[in-house]
Structure 1
Amino acid sequence: MTTWKAVCRLDDIPVTGARRVVRPEGDPVAVFRNAEDQVFALLDRCPHRGGPLSQGIVFGRSVACPLHNWTIGLDSGCAQAPDEGCTPSFSVKVEAVQVYLDLDELRTVAVDAVKDAA
């Protein structure tokens, strides 16, 4: 059974923007909100050079990395071709106005990721 952790309210995430969720271990998680109020969560690291995806531009169901403009799918965490690579995605749910992330994933997913040089 999934244990959900409340991380913010929906209106704490800017429309077509992101909010960072700091974890005790590992890189933060970026929680994104698109223009249709859909919410997604990815590790806050581009698979290319580790750029902070939370600082990227959200459009549709994608985010553009602020370092090298790679397009990353918000639902999968994968780069759009011809670029290659994926960043981990996290389960997210919204109930009423509260945004939740899977607590087990927050504790375990990519906590030992090695940072690349930007």
Structure 2
Amino acid sequence: MKVNLNRNLLDHKGQEAVELVDGKERKKSLRDMISEALYATGMNAQLGMDMAKKLRAYKMLQQIINNRGVLDIETDDATLLKEICAEFFTAGVYGQIYDLIEKGGKE
């Protein structure tokens, strides 16, 4: 399935979340946030993420980079992505990512 991650994060009020970058406001991108989570996979030693899952996370990260935010993944990779994001993010962020994956990035 193809998942387009090029969406902006919504805050608790349903508004696009912003962050300060070099003194300027910029909308927070789910693509960038998911990329950060994939990059950091395995940081929590208590979870015991095995090498195969770390490698799959890295390959998904490379796909995001090379395909400008579009993932073409199978069910097992979608499950791993949800697992990684559930551990890395708050409920509000994770829920948006979960919905995006389940809908395949479609509006």
Normalising by the residue count of structure 2, what TM-score does the alignment of the two structures yield? Answer: 0.29
Instruction: Report which of the two has the higher share of helix.
Output: 2
